[in-house]
């Protein structure tokens, strides 16, 4: 059976196109792979964007991750890293952060356990080695994000966030032997956004006005009570003075006291 030349050429073109598509997809996957250098720039972008006191608390999720993606791209361009690579999409940044945050949080727990088991004579490398072993035993996989852990472990923003997500523990360690308690997490909390600051200011004004009004009413009430008490004493003194018969001893003493009180007020 003889196959026409045109059919052979067509099959060859299809084969070449398929190979080209496979190579292109492979290059794209390699191009999008997160390297340790990418992760460090990305973590820096997340920390700086989330610490923004003006928009950090007010923006929507989409806007937040768009800002991080733009910040990351600007950092890559300023350092001249991965020139020509396509920009990370906000969804890619969000997915990468969730993975980093999850794994690093779990490794922090393993590191805490290793620190508690540290014996005399062991150094930091011994503790770190044990932490990797604990992580592997707990999750059946190796921890490959040491670079991300080193970037996040001492940052108070991330420590406070990690502490807030673990309410069952009274204290958590954020670095070597250091405890981060709930009070520290509160102290390192980022400042409120613009809307929150305005709402808080309005609330304080309303509370101050309410307090001033209450104090004013209380002052008027006290003055009213004092006036009624004075009128009552004057009425009793008039009744004692108007008596025709001599006053009893206790009545005379009461009259003197009323006169003294009225003269002193």
pLDDT above 90 covers what percent of the chain? Answer: 16
Q: Coil, helix or strand for 201?
A: helix
Question: How far is residue 112 from each of residues 24, 99, 175, 230, measured CA to CA in Å?
Answer: 44, 20, 9, 73
Query: What is the per-residue pLDDT for 183?
Result: 43
Per-residue pLDDT of 198-218, as tens digits, reads: 667 667 777 777 788 888 888
Query: What is the per-residue pLDDT for 19?
Result: 58
Question: How far is residue 169 from each of residues 92, 95, 166, 231, measured CA to CA in Å?
Answer: 32, 27, 6, 65
Query: Which of 5-14, 229-238, 254-263 shows the lowest per-residue confidence on average (mean pLDDT)?
Result: 5-14
211: tokens are: 């307090």
168/231: higher pLDDT: 231
Query: What is the per-residue pLDDT for 240?
Result: 82
The DSSP element (H or E) to which 256 belongs, if any, is helix 249-264
Query: What is the per-residue pLDDT for 251?
Result: 81
Q: For residue 104, which of 136, 143, 68, 50 has the smallest C-alpha distance?
A: 143
Query: What is the per-residue pLDDT for 229?
Result: 83
Query: What is the per-residue pLDDT for 170?
Result: 46
Query: What is the per-residue pLDDT for 176?
Result: 41
Per-residue pLDDT of 66-117, as tens digits, reads: 888 888 888 877 776 655 566 788 888 999 999 999 999 999 999 999 998 8
Query: Which of 34-43, 126-135, 236-245 shows the lowest per-residue confidence on average (mean pLDDT)?
Result: 236-245
Would the pLDDT of 134 be above 90? yes
106/234: higher pLDDT: 106
């Amino acid at each position: 059976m003889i196959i026409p030349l045109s059919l052979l050429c067509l099959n060859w073109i299809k084969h070449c196109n398929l190979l080209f598509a496979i190579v292109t997809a492979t290059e794209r996957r390699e191009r999008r792979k997160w390297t340790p250098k990418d992760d460090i720039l990305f973590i820096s972008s997340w920390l700086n964007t989330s610490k923004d006191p003006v928009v950090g608390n007010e923006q929507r999720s989409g806007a937040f991750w768009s800002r991080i993606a733009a910040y990351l791209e600007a950092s890559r361009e300023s350092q001249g890293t991965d020139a020509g690579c396509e920009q990370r999409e906000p969804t890619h940044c969000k997915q990468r952060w969730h993975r980093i945050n999850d794994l690093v949080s779990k490794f922090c727990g393993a590191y805490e356990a290793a620190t508690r088991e540290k014996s005399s004579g062991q150094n930091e490398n011994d503790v770190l080695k044990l932490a990797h072993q604990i992580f592997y035993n707990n999750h059946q996989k190796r921890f490959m994000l040491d670079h991300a852990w080193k970037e996040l472990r001492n940052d108070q923003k991330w420590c406070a966030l990690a502490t807030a997500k673990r309410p069952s523990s009274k204290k958590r360690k954020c670095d070597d032997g250091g405890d981060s308690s709930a009070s520290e997490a509160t102290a390192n909390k980022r400042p409120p956004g613009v809307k929150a600051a305005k709402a808080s200011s309005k609330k304080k004004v309303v509370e101050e006005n309410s307090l001033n009004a209450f104090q004013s009413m209380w002052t008027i009430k006290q003055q009213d009570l004092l006036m009624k008490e004075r009128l009552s004493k004057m009425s009793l003194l008039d009744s004692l003075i108007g008596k025709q018969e001599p006053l009893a001893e206790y009545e005379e003493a009461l009259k003197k006291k009323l006169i003294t009180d009225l003269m002193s007020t």
